Amino acid sequence: MSQPTERQSRAERLRRLAETGRDTDMGRLLRSFWQPITLSSRVEKGRTLPLTIMGQELMLYRGESGRAYLVDARCAHRRTHLHTGWVEGEQIRCIYHGWRYDGTGQCTEMPAEKNIKPAQIKIGGYPLNEYCGLVFAYLGEGMAPPFELPRKGVFEREGCLVIAREQTWPTNWLQQVENSLDAVHVSFVHQAGKVGPFGAAVTATVPDLEYQETNAGIRQIATRGPGNVRISDWTFPNNNHIIVPNSNIGDPWVDIGIWNVPVDDMATSRMQLFALPVAPDSPAGKRYIEEHRLYADYDPVANHEALFRDRKFPAESPLALTPAQDYLAIMGQGRSVDRSAEFLGESDAGIVLLRRLLSREMDALREGRPAKSWKPLGHDADMHAPRPAAE
């Protein structure tokens, strides 16, 4: 067989970054971190919720005690989806022939079997943590690492208002992560159609860019002139944190944490936490809750035709306009971009660094070498990072 050409092997290296199935290098890397998989509010007591995460079929259910459990979706017997079954106490019963499983995936009853024992049968069960309205799961091998959020300090401020949201876009996960490390896009994408408060805060000036690897991930410094320095600390491997102006002039800026979690290689859930350092029942808190009620349900996917064909943008609230603008640019690349056909420039330094870190860590895992021990960003790091000048 002929040797692969340089272009083929480059294409292969780039494709490896985007694929997240269970047996892929990136799939193993992403699974070695806690990942948010859905909103806590989507699964009520005694109910089940089918989910797909990184191409893996899973089943989330909430026991009668209120505790949530995550197991493999399919019954070990004849592969019926356990979502079609029902919750019994803290366990789940398959609809088809009644095999029952506990929250670790251990089978505990097989009503029609005399010669095989439930102890012989186990499906996958995964540790969970519910935090700020999101359900986090550890889908990797071995013991789960300690549950550490990148910005605990921001989301755990006393009396702080935190709102969780989830939206799924039909593109590969890496396009969305790369967008987070592409500060130039802000000067174009967020001026497109309408300029909302977010676009206005950064201006159309193309920034000077600097990207540094940190203990947590990548720090991105975009300077658009004296007093307009935008710093974002992106957390390895798929979490971004940004601070954006509040639409209600004079109210505090909003901290947003976004995880881009692959549903499969052609769709990505954007799991988001919005935090405002005010009490929910304060005037600013009430205004922000009302803005979420009015605008946060805007879904660019449901408005795809309006955006692509008619360039019809939603209201100026950053909760609707900002994602609509990002959606146009990211979906404009296609659902899974061919990176081997790109032509990168010096302003793509963040994307180059991101790919280098992801490849380095995937290689370490594959070769059994120690991966980098990433540290969560603490409250201190947030406080030391200069805030946008307009704050």
**Residue holding tokens 């029902």?**
86
* Beta-carbon contacts of residue 321 (< 8 Å; ≥ 6 apart): 193, 194, 196, 198, 313, 314, 315
- Phi then psi for 258, rounded to 5 degrees? -130, 125
Nearest distance, CB of residue 94 and ligand FES, angstroms: 3
Nearest distance, CB of residue 192 and Fe ion, angstroms: 10
**Binding flag, residue 99, ligand FES (CB under 6 A):** yes
CA atoms of 171 and 264, how far apart (whole Å) = 9
Nearest to ligand FES of 123, 337 (CB atom)? 123
Site string for ligand FES, 221-250 (x = CB under 6 A): ------------------------------
Site string for Fe ion, 312-351 (x = CB under 5 A): --------------x-------------------------
* Beta-carbon contacts of residue 72 (< 8 Å; ≥ 6 apart): 56, 57, 58, 59, 105, 123, 124, 125
The answer to whether the bond into 197 is cis (omega within 30° of 0) is: no
Number of residues that bind ligand FES (CB under 6 A): 9
Nearest distance, CB of residue 38 and Fe ion, angstroms: 23
Residue of 30, 60, 70, 75 interacting with ligand FES (CB under 6 A)? 75
Nearest distance, CB of residue 109 and ligand FES, angstroms: 10
Tokens of 106: 């251990």
> Residue 256 CB: number of other CB atoms within 10 A?
20
Per partner kind, with CB cut-offs from 5 to 8 A, the member of Fe ion, ligand FES, none near residue 104 is none
CA atoms of 333 and 336, how far apart (whole Å) = 7
Nearest to ligand FES of 75, 354 (CB atom)? 75
Burial class (CB in 10 A: 0-12, 13-18, 19+), 249: exposed
Question: In DSSP terms, which residues pair with 131 in a beta bridge?
Answer: 134
Closest to 358 measured CA to CA, from 241, 274, 260, 272: 260
Tokens of 298: 């805007």
Number of residues that bind Fe ion (CB under 5 A): 1
**Binding flag, residue 327, ligand FES (CB under 6 A):** no
Closest to 223 measured CA to CA, from 240, 204, 210, 242: 210
**Binding flag, residue 101, ligand FES (CB under 6 A):** no
**Binding flag, residue 94, ligand FES (CB under 6 A):** yes
Helix (H, G, I), strand (E, B) or coil at 9: helix
**Binding flag, residue 178, Fe ion (CB under 5 A):** no
**Binding flag, residue 97, ligand FES (CB under 6 A):** yes
Tokens of 159: 């009396």
Per partner kind, with CB cut-offs from 5 to 8 A, the member of Fe ion, ligand FES, none near residue 326 is Fe ion
> Interface with ligand FES by CB under 6 A: which range of 13-21, 91-99, 151-159, 306-314?
91-99
The string of DSSP codes covering 139-171 is -SSSSPPP---TTHHHHT-TT-EEEEEEEEESS
CA atoms of 155 and 151, how far apart (whole Å) = 7
Nearest distance, CB of residue 91 and ligand FES, angstroms: 13
Nearest distance, CB of residue 185 and Fe ion, angstroms: 6
Site string for Fe ion, 270-309 (x = CB under 5 A): ----------------------------------------
Closest to 274 measured CA to CA, from 288, 251, 257: 257
Nearest to ligand FES of 93, 151 (CB atom)? 93
**Residue holding tokens 């300690």?**
146
Residue of 52, 80, 191, 340 interacting with ligand FES (CB under 6 A)? 80
Residue of 78, 356, 360, 366 interacting with ligand FES (CB under 6 A)? 78
Please give the residue ranges that form the binding site for Fe ion (CB under 5 A).
326
Please give the residue ranges that form the binding site for ligand FES (CB under 6 A).
75, 77-78, 80, 94, 96-99
